[in-house]
Amino acid sequence: MIERLKKKIDSITQELIEWRRDFHRHPEVAFEEHRTSSVIRKFLEGLSLPVSSSARTGLKGVLEGKSEGKTVALRADMDALPLKEEGEKEYISLNPEASHACAHDGHMAILMGVAKLLSEEKDSFRGRVIFLFQPSEERIPGGAKMMIEEGALKGVQAIFGLHLWQPLPTGSVGIVKGAMMAQPDVFTVKIKGKGGHGSMPHQTVDPILVASHLVINAQSIVSRNIDPLKPGVVSFGTIHGGTIDNIIPNEVSLTGTVRSFHPSVQSLAQKRLKELVEGTAKAFGASSEFAYTCGYPPLINDEKMVEFVKGVTRKTLGKERLVTIDPVMGGEDFSYYLREVPGAFLFFGAGDGMEFPHHHPGFDFDERALPQAVLLMSSLALEFLSRP
C-alpha cells in the first residue's frame, strides 16, 4: 500500500506545488477566505465529495469508504496574516495587505492532495474521512470552535493535523506527548496623559514616557513573579502614539500577548499586568485602560495518539525522521478539537535552505516537504481506519 501511495503522490507533486503557490499569490485573512474557499470547494466537488460550509468561510468535505467503519478527521487552516510580503519569489503575494507567512497555503495543498489520493483509494478502506478546511486560525476566537459548534466533529473518533515547521529539517516529524503548544492570550493597554509642546514637557503628562516604563516594568512578570520552572511569555507587539516629532500626544496605545501552559501562570500574568498598568500610569500622573482576552486553550496531544503517529511515521517515512522537540509557546486553536476527540498535532519539517522564520515578511518553506506530508497524513487516516 505504501509503495502504491508513493507512486501516486509522485504523479501529483507538481500539482501540490501549483496549488500551494496559487494560494500564496492570493492570501486572505481570517474569515475573509472567500476566494480560497471557492477554489477548495470546486476541487472537492470535482472529486465527487459532498461539501458543506462551516464557520462562515470554512468547508467540510466527506469521503466514504467501501463500507461502514470508523470516522477520522484531518484539518488544514486557511487564513493568511495581515502582513505585507517582502522578497522576489515568483509567487509573491498579490495582496499588499496579506501574506501566507505561516505556511497555511501549504497546509491546504497537503489536505487537497490527501483528499485526491484517498478518493482514488476509497474502495480499499472501510469508514469515513472528514476533511476540515478551517478559517481564522491566526485570530481569536478562531474558526475551530465555530466548526465544532456547527457539527464538524459529529461521529469523529480521531483527528490529526500538522504544521509545516521551518525550524525543523525538511521531512522530519516533531511531536510532543501532552502539552505541546501554549495558550495565546491578548491584552490591550491605553495610557492617557496630557499632551503639549515637545519643548515644554513639564506642562504635560507624557504618555510615551509612561508606556516606555510599562514595557520595561512588565518584563519583571516573567523574571520575578512566575515560577522559573513553569514557562511563560509576556511580549508587546504594537505601540502607537503621536503624530509629529514636536508634539507630546494625549495618549498611547499598546497591545501584546501572554503565553502559558499552566492556569496559575496565566492568572498571575493577567493580575500582575493589570497592576503594573495601573501603577505605572498612576506614578506619572496618567490614567489607563486595560483589557485582557483569553486565547485558545493549550494544545494537549493524546498520548496514545502520539504513539500512533510515531508508529505510522516510522512505517512510512523511516524512524530517522522522528526528532525530539520541546513544547513551543506558539498557540493553535487545533486545541479545541483535541478537547472533544482523541487526536494529535505534529510539526512537519520544511526548513532546509530557508532563511526567515514564521511570521516574517520574507517567510517561505521548502516545498519538497509537501509530498512527504501528503504521504504521512494519508497513511495516518488509512492506518487508523484499518485498526480494530
Looking up residue 137, the CATH number of its domain turns out to be 3.40.630.10
Q: Which residue among 258, 293, 328 closes a domain?
A: 293
Instruction: Mark whether 52 and 170 lie in a shared domain.
Output: yes
The total of structural domains in the chain comes to 2
Is 90 exceeded by the pLDDT of residue 1?
Answer: no
Q: What is the 3-state secondary structure (H, E, C) of the chain?
A: CHHHHHHHHHHHHHHHHHHHHHHHHCCCCCCCCHHHHHHHHHHHHHCCCCEEEECCCEEEEEEECCCCCCEEEEEEECCCECCCCCCCCCCCCCCCCCECCCCHHHHHHHHHHHHHHHHCCHHHCCCEEEEEEECCCCCCCCCHHHHHHCCCCCCCCEEEEEEEECCCCCCCEECCCEEEECEEEEEEEEEECECEECCCHHHCECHHHHHHHHHHHHCHHHHHHCCCCCCEEEEEEEEECCCCCCEECCEEEEEEEEEECCHHHHHHHHHHHHHHHHHHHHHCCCEEEEEEECCCCCEEECHHHHHHHHHHHHHHCCHHHEECCCCECCCCCHHHHHHHCCEEEEEEECCCCCCCCCCCCCCCCCCCHHHHHHHHHHHHHHHHHHCC
Instruction: Mark whether 319 and 380 lie in a shared domain.
Output: yes
CATH for 194:
3.30.70.360
Instruction: Mark whether 273 and 333 lie in a shared domain.
Output: no
Instruction: Mark whether 251 and 355 lie in a shared domain.
Output: no
pLDDT digit string, tens, across residues 18-54: 999 999 999 999 999 999 999 999 999 999 999 999 9
Asked if 137 is an active-site residue, the reply is yes
Q: What is the mean pLDDT of residues 232-236?
A: 98
Domain around 43: 2-181+298-386
State the catalytic residue, choosing from 33, 77, 121, 137. 137
Instruction: Mark whether 256 and 304 lie in a shared domain.
Output: no
Is 90 exceeded by the pLDDT of residue 388?
Answer: no
State the catalytic residue, choosing from 79, 105, 206, 302. 79
Instruction: Mark whether 99 and 212 lie in a shared domain.
Output: no
Instruction: Mark whether 234 and 196 lie in a shared domain.
Output: yes
Q: Which residue among 293, 319, 347 closes a domain?
A: 293
What's the pTM? 0.94
Confidence class of residue 90 from pLDDT cuts 50, 70 and 90?
Answer: very high
Q: Which residue among 244, 271, 293 closes a domain?
A: 293
Specify the pLDDT at position 2.
85
Instruction: Mark whether 158 and 35 lie in a shared domain.
Output: yes
